Structures are given as structure tokens and as C-alpha cells.
A and B are shown apart, each in its own frame.
Chain A
């Protein structure tokens, strides 16, 4: 069972909800941090990293001795990553999307696979939680392929919690595509609502069942609740604004380990998610 936690707007409590949910489930749970730009979940789960792997993508290397300057590679490349200039073929690896088109099209077989480093994937254990995250290399623009690699580590046997990146564009799609359930986290403010609507649209397009957690539920205005009602998105948990919660977060202390009442509330949250998923399974 894959449960993704996404938010649209950043800083609404995605990491808080995802890590506390994982800690509440406790054992037989896997955690994938797909916010590879700024992976923060490890600061709260504190896993012992056991394996680290560099993730690379294939990019073209041109053998000038074989190349006959036909220009087919330039013609197929949609990303201007391989260009014929005068009597040379130049490659721009940072623009390459690794579609494989140039390798395939070259009649001279003059293009071989070099690689570009995207970042690393680290895996380890935090108590009973199997932990995986990706860390994008500083200066690398393409987070999508690294997120895909993190997603490949999901094992079907257990419950997997996925922390998605903020926003609503392709990295979010990579993180949540094909999951069983998306938990949307927002705050009840105009910014929170605007960004919720966009990410909810992504979830709708992908056809994934979802529900809502409202953080700092007692601030702002009623827009988010009205939207949830209109769109029939169930609200599974409301977390009030509490300076103590903010302070715990600032230190990297999980809510459920510091405050017993929150353990119960996250257990309830997980119960509600399971119930919704069983309902779906019965063809509701």
C-alpha cells in the first residue's frame, strides 16, 4: 500500500504529517522521501544510513572518428542537448533528458552512453522504519529522474509512506503517480487554498483517492473547508496552531514521540485512511 503525502504549498506540514504517520505505524513500514531538492524527513526520523548509491543518467558521447556529421542527432533532439556546429557535434549534458533518441537514430553508431550524475540515494533504518531518500546534486536541474529512482525502491509487501515535493508540476507527478492514496496537507489561508486547488487537480487527473489534513487549522479563513466540502474531500485530521508544536518541529522532535495525545490522533488518522482504502477496494 503506497500512501503519498503532498501539499502544493511548501511549509504546510507535509514532512510533519508523513514522518509522524510513519512513526505511528511503527513497524513493517517503509518511508520514501521524494522531496529530493530539499529532503528533510531524515532530520526527524534519524535513520542510520547503511547504503549510498550515486544515481546517473545516460547522456551522449560522440566518437568524432565515426561521426559523419549527418545531423540526424540534432534533428531528433528536442532539448538542444546535441548540436551540429560547423564540422563538430557538441553535446550539452545538462540539457539532456536521456530519451535515447540520438543513440537510436545515429546511422554510424557514433554515439555511446556517457553519464551525468543526478544525485545520491541513501537507504537505512530508523527503528523499524525502512528509510530511503534521494539528494539532488547541487546545480542539477532535473529532479524527476532521481525521484523515479527513489520510487523504484518501494516494496509492495508493506505500507510505504511517500513524502512528495511541494508544488504541482512534474516532480509531484513523479512522486505520486500510481500510489493508492494521497494525503493532502494544507493550511487554511488564501495561499494554502490556491495551491491546494492545483495539487488536488493533479490528484484528480491521476485518478487517485485523496483526503485532507489541515494544519494550523484555527488560523486563517474558512476557504479551505469550503473547498473540501464542495469537492467532497474528507478532512481526516486538523492540527491546531500551537507554538509548542512549532518549537518541537524546530528541534527535529516528532510530535508523536513528545506528546502522547498526538500518537492517538495519528493512529486514528491511519485508521481512517485504511477504512477509505478498504471502501475503495469494495468498489465503493
Chain B
């Protein structure tokens, strides 16, 4: 089975995707995955050529058959999500897909149909195969879509004889993050030396330990607050997250992004690019 490195951050906007882009350029044989399915941005750096496009069907949603419905109101009474409006239309955004309304309707007036929650893609990029997805706006089941993407990535890796997967994870610590990290070889936590970066770093390190995935630490924008930088390093020692490198604040990342490139391509000799190379050297010894 291919070993997988998942890049996560707790706090959003710390530079996860830019760093995954840069690593994608550096690593030779790998599959690239974006599991931040409700705000997937990595494709903007990788300009993928889509080879396969699939609908993501997950769970079901109720459809009320007007000609059978007697408006008895039992479904509205039983629904825990207030997803059936007064006029007996289904608010699919609120609906959790539990099927209780369908099951208990005395008139059999509620169908329960497949729910299309988004799309997922297998693509080819200048850095190799890339799997990503777009969850539909406001949808549920992000965790299931993440699990599906990772499973497919494993299959593609096996088929191509590739033994490494790099994954751009979502922010937070909830459902899609949990689905992203289980079974990974390690997580690379990209954080920043801000008060919120520190707070969120502590929580994401705990989450990594909770699911028994070794956390590694990269501090981005490391020079914006040196005292906080020290605090993060101190926390990483105390909580058991190996510190493997840091990148000073650098607007070049934004310029590279605007040009649809990774920083390694846009500014290969920049201090940040050289630093990311060193980070990859250290990372590879863990993987």
C-alpha cells in the first residue's frame, strides 16, 4: 500500500495548498489528492486535464408525492431537522437524509431517491495523477466524499505502481479532516505564529494523536511574530510533533498563485523555494 502524507492546518489560510503545490513539484513519483472538498483550490495551481468525471451519489433525499400526500403532518412532527416546510416541500439543504419521514408516512407518499452531492475527478497534471472533487454548495457527506477520493487514489497508485500519495487536507478538526487522516503515514501540520494559529495547532495535534497518525510541524510566515514562533516550537516538543521546518512570510506565494504556478516554478531560487526543498528532504526521511 502506498504511504500517504496529509497536509492539514486546523486554522485555514496558513498556506497548506501552496505548500502541497510546491511539494508536488519536488516529489517524483506520487499521486496528488485534494480532500478539501468544499473549498478545493489545489486544481487552480495544477491546471488538471480531466480524464474521468463522476457524480458523487451519497445517501438519499425525500421527495413528497403531492397526489398521495394528505398533509397529515406526521413527517413534520418526526423530522429532527425542520426540513419539511409548512407547504410540505422538502428543504434539501436542511435535510440530513435520515429517511424517517419516508419510513413512517402512512400514505407512502414520500419517495426516497439517490442524492447527488457533488462531482469527483481523476485527472492528469504536469506533476502526475491528481484526484479532486467539488462538493455541491451547502451539501452534507463531505467525509464520505473524502473517504471515496482516498480509496480511489489508493487504487490509482496501485495500478500505476506508485508508492506515495500527497494529500491537501481541509481546515478544522471535524468530519472531513477525520476522514482525511485515518491510516496516513504522517500528517504535516502547516501553522502560523499567530494567537489563533497556536490555538488551532494544539487542537489539530491532539486530533492527530487521537487517530494515531504522527504529526509533523511546519511553521509558515514564521517571522511575523518571533515570540509566538518560539511558543509553537515549545508546544510541538511538549505535545510530540516533530518540527521539520519554517518559511518566512513571503508574498511570492500569492504572485505564484495568481500566475497559476507553484512557487517552485515561479521563483525557484527564492528563499521560500530553497526552504521547501530542505523541508522535503527532512520529510522524506519520515515517510
Contact = CB atoms under 8 A, between A and B. Distances in A.
A9 B173 contact: no
Given A11-B12, A78-B59, A250-B193, A37 B39 contact: no
B240 interface: no
B20 to A, nearest CB: 12
A150 to B, nearest CB: 14
Contact of B96 (A99, A198, A221): A99
Contacts of A165: 172
A8 interface: yes
Q: Is the interface of B mostly helix, strand, loop or mixed?
A: loop
A221 B92 CA distance: 36
A252 B175 contact: no
B105 interface: no
Nearest to A148: B81
A86 interface: no
Interface in A88-144: 97-101, 104-105, 136, 138-143
A66 interface: no
Nearest to B253: A189
Given A141-B178, A189-B257, A205-B93, A37 B173 contact: yes
A100 B80 contact: yes
Contacts of B97: 78
Contacts of B9: 10
A173 B93 contact: yes
A260 interface: no
Contacts of B1: none
Contacts of B200: 38, 40
A117 to B, nearest CB: 14
A156 interface: no
A251 B195 contact: yes
The bracket for how many chain B residues form the interface is: 35 or more
Interface stretch (A227-235, A241-249, A263-271): A241-249
B170 interface: yes
15 contacts: A7-B12, A10-B11, A36-B174, A79-B98, A136-B173, A138-B206, A139-B207, A141-B174, A143-B172, A165-B172, A169-B38, A169-B140, A190-B44, A194-B44, A250-B225
Interface string B155-178: 000000000000000111111111
A12 interface: yes
Contact of A101 (B17, B37, B100): B100
A190 B46 CA distance: 13
Contacts of A97: 96, 98
Given A9-B12, A38-B10, A99-B96, A189 B173 contact: no
